[in-house]
Amino acid sequence: MKFQAFERDGALLMAAPELVEHITPSWFDLNWWRSRGQQVDSAPGRGESYFVSYQGWQLVWRHYRRGGMAAKLSADRYLWTGLEQTRAYAEFVLTQQLFDQGLPVPRPLAGCVVRQGLTYRADLMTARIDGARSLADQLDAGGAIPWAEVGATIARFHAAGLDHVDLNLRNILVDTEQQIYLIDFDRCRLRAAGRWAEGNLDRLRRSLDKLFPGGGHDAGWHKLREGYRSA
Report which residue type is found at 119.
Answer: T
Sign of CA dihedral 167, 110, 132, 176: negative
Predicted confidence at residue 34, as pLDDT, reads: 93
List the helix and strand counts (H, then E) for the chain: 7, 13
pLDDT at 134 exceeding the cut of 80? yes
Alpha-carbon gap, residue 118 to 80, rounded angstroms: 5
CB 159 within 8 Å of CB 204: no
Buried b / exposed e over 180-207, threshold 16 CB at 10 Å, is: bbbbbbbebeeeeeeebbeebbeebbeb
First to last CA, the chain: 29
Cα 22 vs. chain centroid, distance in angstroms? 23
Report which residue type is found at 92.
Answer: F
Predicted confidence at residue 42, as pLDDT, reads: 83
If 0-12 CB within 10 Å is exposed, 13-18 middle and 19+ buried, where does residue 65 land? middle
What positions carry a catalytic annotation? 166
- Mean pLDDT over 112-123 rounds to 97
Which residue, 60, 54, 61, 183, is CA-closest to 112?
61
The domain segmentation of the chain, as residue ranges, is 4-127, 133-230
pLDDT at 47 exceeding the cut of 70? no
For the domain spanning 133-230, the CATH number is 1.10.510.10
Is the model's pTM score more than 0.85?
Answer: yes
pLDDT at 204 exceeding the cut of 80? yes
pLDDT at 71 exceeding the cut of 60? no
